[in-house]
A and B are shown apart, each in its own frame.
Chain A
Amino acid sequence: MSTIDIATARKVAHLARIRVAEDQLPKLAEQLSGILSFMEQLNEVDVTGVEPMTSVTPMRLKRRADVVTDGGYPDKVLSNAPEAREGFFAVPKVVE
C-alpha cells in the first residue's frame, strides 16, 4: 500500500510543472494517495507472460515520403501566441 507523502506530492507537482502552494500540498497528497490505493487492485491480477498493450487495433502505422507537406504561414502559426515577436514565439529569458 503506497501512500504519497508531502515531499512526493511536491516533487510530482514540480515534474508536472504545476505550481501548488505549500498549504495545498497535504490535501493533494491525500487525494493522490486515495487514487493510487484504488489502483492497487491491479496487483491482484496475474500478468505473468502478458505483453503490455501498445496498439488498440492491430495495425501497421502508415509511412509517407519524408518531404515537407505543409507550412509557409508563420503568421497563422503565431496567431494564437500569448507573445510573438518578429516571426518568433517570445518567452522569458531561458539562459543567463
Chain B
Amino acid sequence: MTLNALTISDARDALRKGEITATDLTMACLTAMDAGDGLGAFVHKTPEIALDQARAADARIQAGDAPSLCGIPLGIKDLFCTKGVPSQAASNILRGFRPEYESTVTAKLFGAGAVMLGKLNMDEFAMGSSNETSCYGDVINPWRAGNDETALTPGGSSGGSAAAVAADLCLAATGTDTGGSIRQPAAFTGITGIKPTYGRCSRWGIVAFASSLDQAGPMTKDVRDAAIMLQAMCGHDPKDSTSADLPVPDFEAALTGDIRGKTIGIPREYRMDGMPDEIEALWATGRRMLEDAGARIVDISLPHTKYALPAYYVIAPAEASSNLARYDGVRYGHRAKLAQGDGITEMYEKTRAEGFGPEVRRRVMVGTYVLSAGFYDAYYNRARKVRALIKRDFDEAFAQGVDAILTPATPSAAFALGKEMSDPVEMYLNDVFTVTVNLAGLPGISVPAGLDKSGLPLGLQLIGRPWEEADLLNTAFAIERAAGFVAKPAKWW
C-alpha cells in the first residue's frame, strides 16, 4: 500500500512505532497531489510549509510527543484563513488575499502536529452543491459510472476536500457545512464526513457564509478518522461568541460498535416522491444493519421537513447578504478599475459585480430582497418561525427517546457536471436531506454504505442529539462495520 492511501489511524500507529516518517508520508502525498492535478482539487499548493511541518512532526514524534494528528498530511478547504497562504473562498473578490492570521480550527490542527499540503477547491463562498461555482473551475469526482468517462461532480461545496480524500491525495481534509456541504460531497465520493453540533468548532477565521448555519468538520476515509480529526478541531474559543464552552469528549474511545438498546428513528417525511429505488433500498439496508446490531427501530414524524429547503433559501441568503457586505473593495481583495468621475458607490457596485460569480450575486440579491423594508416579515421572519418549528420536530423526536435518526444522505448518486447548473432551484434540491440538520443546529454524519448499479458510492446520514457526537460516531461506526464499504475509485487521472 502506498503511504498516501493510509488512514489517519494507521498512519498514526506506524509513525509512533517508527515504521514510517512524517517526511516520507508527506512526500508521498505531495507526489499524489501533483499527479492529481486533473481532478482540480488542490488550488494552492504549499509543499514547503508541508515539509517544514513534517520535519517538525518527526522531531516531535522522536521526542515522544505525538498527538494523534502529529505528522498527518491534510488538505485545507479554501474557506479557512491560513496565515500567509492564499485564502480566497474560491472567489475572485478575494484574489490575492493572504491573511495575517490563522483560523482557530487550522491553528488547532497544526498545533496538534498536522501537516498542510495546500488549499482545496470549493464552491464560491461555499454556495453550491456541485463545486461548479468556483473561480478556480470545476472539481472532478474521482469516481466514474462504470466505463462511462463522463465527468461527474464531487458534490459541493466541499468538493475539493471530498475529491482529494477519495483519490488519496491527502489522508483527510477540512470541510465546512452550511446546508450539507460536508455530508453531500462525502456521500458522492464514498468517504465519511461529519458536521458537528453548531458551536462545537470555532468559526473564527473561517470565511462566513451564513453564520447561524456554518460549521466546520472533518472529511475522512473512515469513521475512526472522523473521530480523531473532529477531536482536534473542537473546543471552546473566546473569539467566536457562539462557540460552546463545553468539554470535548474522547470521540475515538466511544467507538465500540455496541449500539444495543439504542433507538433509531426513521422519519417518514424523508420518503420523497420520485426518490430512486436504489436510495430507497439503501435506506432499508441501513435500517436492517442497525436492527441486526441490536438497535430498536421506530418510525417517527418530522412534519415540517418539507419546508426546510424554502426556509433555508431565505435564511442563508439573508445572512450571506449581510456577511458579504464586507467585500467592498476597500480593505482586501479585488477593487474594480474606476472610470473618470466614479465615486464610492460606483466603486462598490463595479467591484462586487466583477468579484462575485453569478450564484453568489444571485444569493446576495435574494438576501437583500428578503431583508428589505416591506418583505422582512413576509419572508425572513416567517422563515425563522418555520425554522423554530423544524427544530421543535427534532426536539420532540429526541424527547420520545430517539437516540439518532437514519436518512439517506442525498437524493441521488453523483451527477454529471453541468447537468443541474441551469436551474438554481433544481440545484437546491440536492440539500433536501441535509439542510434540516443545519437549521436545527444538530450533528449529522454521512457514511458510505453501498454502490449504485453503475458503481457509484451512496451514503447514509445519521442525525444525532445536540452535543452527542460521540454517540453518533459510534452508531456510524456500527453502520460502517456492517456495510463493509471498501470500494475505491479506479485511477484514471
Contact = CB atoms under 8 A, between A and B. Distances in A.
B is a partner of A:
yes
A6 interface: no
Contact of A47 (B328, B329, B389): B389
B428 to A, nearest CB: 8
Interface in A31-53: 31-32, 34-36, 38-45, 47, 50-53
Interface residues of B, number: 74
Contacts of B307: 41-42, 44-45
Give the bracket for the number of chain A residues in contact with chain B. 35 or more
A56 interface: yes
A3 to B, nearest CB: 12
Contacts of A83: 335
A76 interface: yes
Contact of B310 (A9, A18, A41, A50): A41
Contacts of B310: 38-42
Given A38-B313, A42-B383, A92-B344, A52 B366 contact: no
A42 B379 CA distance: 8
Contacts of A43: 382
Interface string A49-84: 011111011010110100000000000110111110
Given A17-B348, A38-B310, A52-B385, A32 B362 contact: yes
B388 A50 contact: yes
B194 interface: no
A80 B98 contact: yes
B345 to A, nearest CB: 7
A67 B135 CA distance: 40
Contacts of B131: none
Majority secondary structure of chain A interface residues (helix, strand, loop or mixed): loop
Given A18-B349, A57-B197, A82-B329, A31 B424 contact: yes
A16 interface: yes
Contact of B388 (A52, A82, A94): A52
B353 to A, nearest CB: 4
A85 interface: no
B299 interface: no
Interface in B217-245: 238, 241-242, 244-245
Contacts of A1: none
Contacts of B325: 17
**Which of A4, A18, A62, A76 has most B Cβ within 10 Å?**
A18
Contact of A42 (B97, B197, B328, B382): B382
Given A16-B365, A19-B350, A39-B313, A53 B385 contact: yes
Contacts of B338: 92
Contacts of A34: 423-425
A7 interface: no
Given A12-B369, A81-B332, A92-B342, A54 B348 contact: no
Contacts of A45: 304, 307, 382, 385-386, 389
Nearest to A44: B307
B316 to A, nearest CB: 12
Given A19-B349, A42-B314, A50 B306 contact: no
Interface in A9-31: 9, 12-20, 28, 31
Contact of B331 (A36, A53, A64, A89): A89
A52 B344 contact: no
Interface string B420-439: 00011100100000000000
Contacts of A32: 362, 365-366, 369
B44 to A, nearest CB: 16
A52 B384 CA distance: 5
Given A35-B313, A82-B335, A17 B328 contact: yes
Interface in B349-398: 349-350, 352-353, 356, 361-362, 364-370, 372, 379, 381-389, 391
A56 B241 contact: no
B110 to A, nearest CB: 20
Contacts of A52: 381, 384-385, 387-388
Contacts of B321: 16
A20 B365 CA distance: 11
Nearest to B97: A80
B343 A18 contact: no
Contacts of B347: 91-92
A4 B361 CA distance: 16
Given A31-B362, A47-B385, A16 B352 contact: yes
Given A17-B348, A57-B197, A91-B347, A38 B425 contact: yes
A94 B307 CA distance: 44
Interface of B: 96-100, 197-199, 212-213, 238, 241-242, 244-245, 304, 306-307, 309-311, 313-314, 321, 325, 328-335, 338, 342-350, 352-353, 356, 361-362, 364-370, 372, 379, 381-389, 391, 423-425, 428, 440-441, 466
Per CB-CB distance, the 10 closest pairs between chain A and chain B, nearest first, are: A52-B384, A82-B335, A56-B441, A80-B332, A19-B349, A47-B385, A19-B353, A53-B388, A17-B348, A16-B368
Given A34-B423, A45-B385, A80-B333, 5 more contacts: A36-B366, A61-B241, A80-B331, A82-B335, A89-B330
